[in-house]
């Protein structure tokens, strides 16, 4: 009898390991200073009580992709999803260290930041090709969404057939126009939020649970 119980337990463990669904890795992508790390911090704080990384008004504060594992997000409708959140460096096609000097950085520090930022962008693109299962594409809703880098990135995400939610961030600012983002990307769900103030993040959580679950 005990042999049968032991065998059953072993089989059960084997099946759990064998058929366990890997947690989806959700990458937060977007141009520099769109508020990616602010959102990553909010998600991680809301669902685990922890933090993800520092934020700054100087572009490219995040220069390495950071992953926070095992976050369970539950929407208002009760649906939930287990994910890993990957906060990525802002994607761009150009980086000039002199732009960082305009924020008061010394040349050596600006050159170092630029070098790390270029490595970070390359790393973010590599993650997107190899290790990401879904994307939150983050845009500053006070800016023009039709920038080439946004069109290119959404095209790359679509070509990889990854589910994508577009977040129109910074709706707390007077110039915010989330409608412009909706008209730029009508093929994808667009959620307007303020990741800084936390307004409307519940709608994003519900959308994530439905879309990435």
Partner 1 sequence: MQGIQIDLISEERLSSLTSMEKIRLILDDVKQGNIVVLEKGLAPEEASRLIEVTMMEISPDGFSGIEMETYPAKEGGAGLAGLLSRISGKRPGSRLTVIGPANQIRMLRKDKDLISAWVSSR
Select from 174, 186, 116 the least CA-distant residue to 146.
186
Phi and psi for 18 in degrees, rounded to 5? -70, -40
d(C-alpha 71, C-alpha 73), whole Å: 6
Residue 80 in contact with partner 1, rule: CB under 8 A = no
Contact 75, 209 (CB under 8 A): yes
Residue of the chain from 16, 20, 21, 129 that contacts partner 1 (CB under 8 A): 129
Residue of the chain from 101, 111, 162, 196 that contacts partner 1 (CB under 8 A): 111
Q: How far is the CB of 125 from partner 1 (least distance, A)?
A: 4
Residue 103 in contact with partner 1, rule: CB under 8 A = no
Select from 99, 47, 55 the least CA-distant residue to 73.
47
Residue 119 in contact with partner 1, rule: CB under 8 A = yes
d(C-alpha 43, C-alpha 48), whole Å: 8
Q: How far is the CB of 23 from partner 1 (least distance, A)?
A: 24
154-193 residues in contact with partner 1 (CB under 8 A) are: 155-156, 158-160
d(C-alpha 25, C-alpha 5), whole Å: 36
Tell me which stretch binds partner 1 (CB under 8 A): 46-54, 65-73, 114-122, 175-183.
114-122
133-152 residues in contact with partner 1 (CB under 8 A) are: 146, 148, 151-152
Q: At what angle do helices 201-212 and 36-48 cross, to 10 degrees?
A: 80
Residues binding partner 1: number (CB under 8 A) = 27
Judged on CB neighbours under 10 Å (0-12, 13-18, 19+), 107 is: exposed
Residue 131 in contact with partner 1, rule: CB under 8 A = no
d(C-alpha 122, C-alpha 54), whole Å: 20
d(C-alpha 174, C-alpha 177), whole Å: 9
Tell me which stretch binds partner 1 (CB under 8 A): 35-43, 76-84, 123-131, 199-207.
123-131
Comparing CB distances to partner 1, the nearer of 174 and 186 is 186
Interface residues with partner 1 (CB under 8 A) are: 91-97, 111, 114-115, 118-119, 121-122, 125-126, 128-129, 146, 148, 151-152, 155-156, 158-160
């Amino acid at each position: 009898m005990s042999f049968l119980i032991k065998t059953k337990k072993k089989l059960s463990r084997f099946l759990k390991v064998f058929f366990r669904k890997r947690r989806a890795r959700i990458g937060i992508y977007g141009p520099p200073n769109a508020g990616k790390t602010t959102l990553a911090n909010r998600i991680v704080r809301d669902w685990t009580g922890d933090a993800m990384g520092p934020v700054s008004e100087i572009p490219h504060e995040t220069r390495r992709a950071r992953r926070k594992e095992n976050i369970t997000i539950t929407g208002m409708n009760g649906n939930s999803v287990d994910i890993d959140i990957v906060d990525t460096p802002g994607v761009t096609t150009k980086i000039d260290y002199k732009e960082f000097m305009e924020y008061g950085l010394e040349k050596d520090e600006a050159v170092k930041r630029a070098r790390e930022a270029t490595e970070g962008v390359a790393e973010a693109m590599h993650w997107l090709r190899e290790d990401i299962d879904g994307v939150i594409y983050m845009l500053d809703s006070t800016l023009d969404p039709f920038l080439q880098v946004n069109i290119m990135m959404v095209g790359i995400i679509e070509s990889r057939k990854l589910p994508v939610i577009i977040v129109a961030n910074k709706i707390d600012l007077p110039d915010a126009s989330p409608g412009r983002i909706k008209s730029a990307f009508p093929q994808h769900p667009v959620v307007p939020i303020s990741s800084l103030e936390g307004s409307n993040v519940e709608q994003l959580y519900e959308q994530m649970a439905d879309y990435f679950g």
